[in-house]
């Protein structure tokens, strides 16, 4: 009898140990070079040059709604004249962000020219979890990188 209880307890603890989930940071990290806040989301990121382009690691926080789902980010690097140098998209995981929840993202933007980006344009879209699935919210912003 005691053996069965110990086996059940061991199995339960094993299952709980496997159920580890991502714990988002409570505030935006300090290692970000840039940040921007819109009425619904807060962003922080940095831009790192690498072989063949740029990497844009960062964080996004839902600052307005109870929950948003299907958040997609698209970043476009722009030159001094506002012409696109490269673009990448990223679907934020977890698929649903609760209010004040933060999630990391990484955009890898291929850039073939030696041009240095002057600006970054973010376009994002998502659905409100409590509304119809066919209603999508869009927003964008442009930020100087110099």
pLDDT tens digit sequence for 114-127: 888 999 999 999 99
CB 68 within 8 Å of CB 97: yes
Distance of alpha carbon 140 from alpha carbon 57, whole angstroms: 18
Give me the mean pLDDT over the 39-43 stretch: 95
Which residues, other chains included, contact 40 with Cβ-Cβ below 8 Å and sequence gap of 6+? Answer: 62, 63, 64, 65, 68, 137, 139
pLDDT at residue 113 in the model: 80
The predicted pLDDT at position 6 comes to 54
Q: Percent of the chain scored above 90 by pLDDT?
A: 64
- What is the average per-residue pLDDT within 60-67? 93
What are 71-114's pLDDT values in tens digits?
999 999 999 999 999 999 999 988 899 999 999 999 999 998 88
Average per-residue pLDDT for the chain:
84
Q: What is the pLDDT of residue 55?
A: 95
Domain limits, the chain: 24-144
Q: Which CATH architecture has domain 24-144?
A: Sandwich (2.60)
């Amino acid at each position: 009898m005691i053996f069965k209880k110990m086996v059940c307890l061991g199995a339960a603890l094993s299952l709980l140990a496997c159920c580890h989930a991502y714990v988002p940071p409570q505030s935006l990290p300090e290692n970000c070079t840039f940040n921007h806040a819109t009425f619904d989301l807060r962003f922080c990121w940095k831009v790192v040059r690498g072989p063949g382009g740029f990497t844009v690691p960062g964080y996004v926080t839902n600052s307005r709604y109870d929950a948003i789902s299907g958040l997609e980010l698209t970043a476009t690097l722009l030159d001094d004249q506002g012409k696109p140098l490269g673009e990448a998209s990223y679907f934020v995981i977890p698929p649903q962000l609760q209010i004040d929840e933060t999630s990391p993202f990484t955009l890898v933007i291929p850039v073939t020219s030696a041009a240095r980006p002057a600006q970054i344009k973010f376009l994002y879209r998502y659905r409100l979890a409590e509304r119809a699935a066919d209603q999508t919210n869009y927003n964008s912003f442009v930020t100087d990188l110099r």
